Amino acid sequence: MSNIIGLVEELYVHPVKSMTGQLLQEASVQSYGLYGDRARGLVRADNPDQFVTITQIPQLAAYRAELQIKTCHQPGWPEITIYTPDGRAYNWEEETWLAELEQLAGIKMQRWEAPSGHVPKGAIEDGDLLLTTSHSLAALSSLHGVPVDIRRFRPNLHLRLTTEDATAYVEGSWQDRHLLVGEAVIQVTGNCPRCSIINVEPLSGIITPHLLKHVARQNAIHFGVYAAVQTPGLIRVGDPIQFHSSY
């Protein structure tokens, strides 16, 4: 009997913490997560240990960041491009986009960059990777009354489940199980509890306050699961996902 439970439908990397991420066709899974994921961010100038996030500045979601890479195996962190809500493009080091955000937030900010080759916890929250599924998204969209943009949940892997017995929020039952995805092996570590960040519409920053209430109603405020990297490797859109029994 096949252990295949679905396939990788979408892959996302978030080059700057809390900015809208980048859709990829392939990505390298490193020991900390996807290559370059949340390797940069913004911190308060008066408290460099505190990240600035969508919670403080919902408009941050209206900014988009993209890695400028030709291969997902290049050393160090690649250059990134910041796109403003009106489509202007800037390099990470340019001051214009940062000054605009500082004016919106009413605080001074500094750029933060992870040490080359590793992104620490705090930048990537409670897990190396975040997984969501098509069945859960469909159930939430049905309750919400309109299609919900999966980018609100900032996943790395959005999975399309293909088994006949797949149900909404079944991923919550995968805790401690190992999954083989492309060349990588990951272990599901637990549910992802949600906060008001999911109420913020990607690329607009508009707040729709009922979405978090719908997640709470359907699945006790959880949407998606965290996973820890066991074996790094390359993954691609369309790769099958299967339970891995060798661990």
Confidence at residue 92, expressed as pLDDT on a 0 to 100 scale: 94
pLDDT band at 205 (very low <50, low <70, confident <90, very high): confident
**Per-position b or e across 74-111, b if 16+ CB within 10 A of its CB:** eeebbebbbbeeeeeebebeeeebbebbbeebebebee
Burial class of residue 228, CB neighbours in 10 A (0-12, 13-18, 19+): middle
Query: d(Cα 37, Cα 25) in Å, to the nearest integer?
Result: 15
Q: What is the average per-residue pLDDT within 72-101?
A: 88
Confirm if 14 and 151 have CB atoms less than 8 A apart. no
Confidence at residue 1, expressed as pLDDT on a 0 to 100 scale: 43
pLDDT band at 126 (very low <50, low <70, confident <90, very high): confident
Assign residue 95 the CATH number of its domain. 2.40.33.20
pLDDT for 144-176, tens place per residue? 999 999 999 999 999 999 999 999 999 999 999
Residue 2 has pLDDT above 90, yes or no: no
Q: What is the average per-residue pLDDT within 93-100?
A: 95
CA 4 from chain centre, in angstroms, equals 23
Residue 125 has pLDDT above 80, yes or no: no
Q: What is the average per-residue pLDDT within 189-207?
A: 92
What is the domain range of residue 130? 4-243
pTM recorded for the entire structure: 0.92
Provide the number of structural domains found in the chain.
Answer: 1
Confirm if 11 and 241 have CB atoms less than 8 A apart. no
CA 153 from chain centre, in angstroms, equals 7
Confidence at residue 67, expressed as pLDDT on a 0 to 100 scale: 92
